[in-house]
Amino acid sequence: MSQYDLIVIGSGPGGYVCAIRAAQLGLKTAVVEKMPTYGGTCLNIGCIPSKALLHSSELFEEAGHGFAQMGIGVPAPTLDLKAMMAFKQDGVDGNVKGVDYLFKKNKIDGIHGTGRIAAPGKVEVKGADGKTQTLDTKAIVIATGSDVARLKGIEIDEKRVVSSTGALSLEAVPSKLLVVGAGVIGLELGSVWRRLGAEVTVVEFLDGALPGMDGEVRRQAQRIFEKQGMTFKLSSKVTGVDTSGKRLKVSVEPAKGGAAETVEADVVLVSIGRVPYTEGLGLADVGVKLDQRGRVEVDAHYATNIPGIWAIGDAIKGPMLAHKAEDEGVAVAEILAGQAGHVNYDAIPNVVYTFPEIASVGKSEDELKAAGTAYKVGKFPFTANGRAKVNHTTDGFVKILADAKTDRVLGVHIIGADAGNMIAEAVIAMEFGASSEDIARTCHAHPTLSEAIKEAALAVDKRSLSM
Ligand code: FAD
Ligand code: NAI
């Protein structure tokens, strides 16, 4: 008799949600977590703390530059970074305690320690005290997430040369921050420290920020970030960081090679992507296959090549996003309980929480062009949206891409204030296979920013009412 129906290794959004759904469906479930708190990267050192700092730094900047024009007179704001960090930690604590509560409520055994798969059906857990216990289970779900990708020859000390983890806990605002990689982390955390007073230079290997997103959105985003004061060094790479002096000396070279220049900085943030984390799990010993990029290989139902072992989240292929991991957690739990778990990978939103926010779902114009799909475009700028005008948040636009023949929505891209909340409407539309006409005929509350989505849908048929 197995002690458990399911042991999940890792308590990030993939793992903890999987455990809760499995418990709801009657499976006797345990979660093994090597960090002192549950919640994984997302709750402890990712989504949650970064959003706390984005929120507080945005208000700090607004208090300094935006209040006067609304007639609010306040003295120049001062920064108490320690208190801001405490605000962030309070938010993190609240969230991780929430997971603890949910485990208890659903009768899930939370086990602290590092998990290793000794054999299918056997998980060995080594506690912080060095003691090892072996647990029996019918199924194992690997939800061990991802880790920071490193640059060869550049050591991350999390003080002066930092990953996102160190950048979420700096003890002082650096006068100069050099960010390596103009991706999501570079732009979000670069925004935080710029708003708090750092001079921010972003070195990006490719010829533009946010690769993978819609080209028009990427170009507008970069223009806005430049206007806000960020400097971009594109088609460039960092080849070394000299840490011997008081200031860091960073060697930056053209991406294609050539003469290096030296850029001085107080802090360097390495944000060039993340890699799946499977260290110490014993996968090679049990024969679980990894793909060429080190991700656990799974079939369409999250099963690895070894019966009884499954995997989800950042540890497998697909976008490294918390909500993707969560949905896979639910799907695999339902599959294990004999149901038909499923994730629609064509309708996974992607949000960058800068100001303005950038949000998308479905295909970009570049992808549709590459696939030879005939499409129509409807675009609406926030300069023509009533609510954006009164709020003075007119940067950005909504773009809807619809199939030229069927009018089915293929992609929605928004750059603008609150884009992250607004994209939910587009995701639902796509999940239900909506046409742009469906969105255009749906009543939207006035005055809201979401009216720009309706107007963009009307614009697909060239009948926008406000432009
Ligand atoms: P993780 O959250 O990485 O959790 C894996 C867990 O497994 C960890 O707790 C780890 O300690 C544990 N573990 C690993 N190996 C073992 C072992 N052998 N034994 C026991 N435990 C083990 N995504 C978004 O969607 N929105 C955002 O706003 C967002 N912001 C982010 C900001 C930052 C700075 C970072 C770094 C990431 C952000 N992400 C965001 C990405 C998001 O955090 C990940 O996609 C998500 O956490 C993946 O979930 P997961 O459950 O697969 O893995
Ligand atoms: P990223 O993949 O978003 O961006 C990395 C950037 O670094 C790319 O632009 C890439 O071209 C560039 N790059 C790679 N090697 C380089 C080099 N040697 N020199 C200069 N530039 C280089 O990765 P990032 O920002 O580290 O984030 C990791 C992941 O975490 C994201 O892919 C995302 O899945 C997740 N995340 C999600 C967030 C969200 O949903 N809002 C927020 C933060 C992270």
**What whole-number distance in Å separates Cα of residue 73 and Cα of residue 106?**
50
User: In residues, how long is the chain?
Assistant: 467
* 161-272: CATH number: 3.50.50.60
Whose alpha carbon is nearest atom 38 of ligand 2?
184
Q: Give the residue extent of every domain in the chain.
A: 4-148+275-343, 161-272, 347-460
Mapped onto helix, strand or coil, the DSSP state of residue 328 is helix
Closest-lying ligand 1 atom to the alpha carbon of residue 32: 20
Closest-lying ligand 1 atom to the alpha carbon of residue 189: 34
Structure tokens at 114: 């590092």
Tell me the catalytic residues: 446
- Could you tell me the distance, in angstroms and rounded to a whole number, from the CA of residue 323 to the centre of ligand 1? 11
Residues 6+ apart with CB under 8 A from 239: 153, 251, 252, 253, 260
- Could you tell me the distance, in angstroms and rounded to a whole number, from the CA of residue 322 to the centre of ligand 1? 7
pLDDT at 454: 98
Per DSSP, 296 falls in state B
What are the mean pLDDT values of the chain's consecutive 10-residue runs (467 residues total)? 91 98 98 98 98 98 93 95 98 98 98 98 96 97 98 96 98 98 98 98 97 96 97 97 97 95 98 97 98 97 98 98 98 98 97 98 97 98 98 97 98 98 98 98 98 98 94
Whose alpha carbon is nearest atom 4 of ligand 2?
183
CATH topology of domain 347-460: Enolase-like; domain 1 (3.30.390)
Do 4-148+275-343 and 347-460 show the same overall fold? no
Q: Which residues line ligand 1 (CB under 6 A)?
A: 9-15, 32-35, 40-42, 46-47, 50, 114-115, 143-146, 164, 185, 277, 280-281, 313-315, 320-323, 325, 353
Of 117, 73, 141, 72, which is closest to residue 313 (Cα–Cα)? Answer: 141
pLDDT at 1: 61
Instruction: State whether CATH 3.40.50.720 applies to domain 4-148+275-343.
Output: no
Whose alpha carbon is nearest atom 29 of ligand 1?
47
Using left for φ > 0, alpha for ψ between -120 and 50, and beta otherwise, residue 121 falls in left
Whose alpha carbon is nearest atom 37 of ligand 1?
46
pLDDT at 467: 87
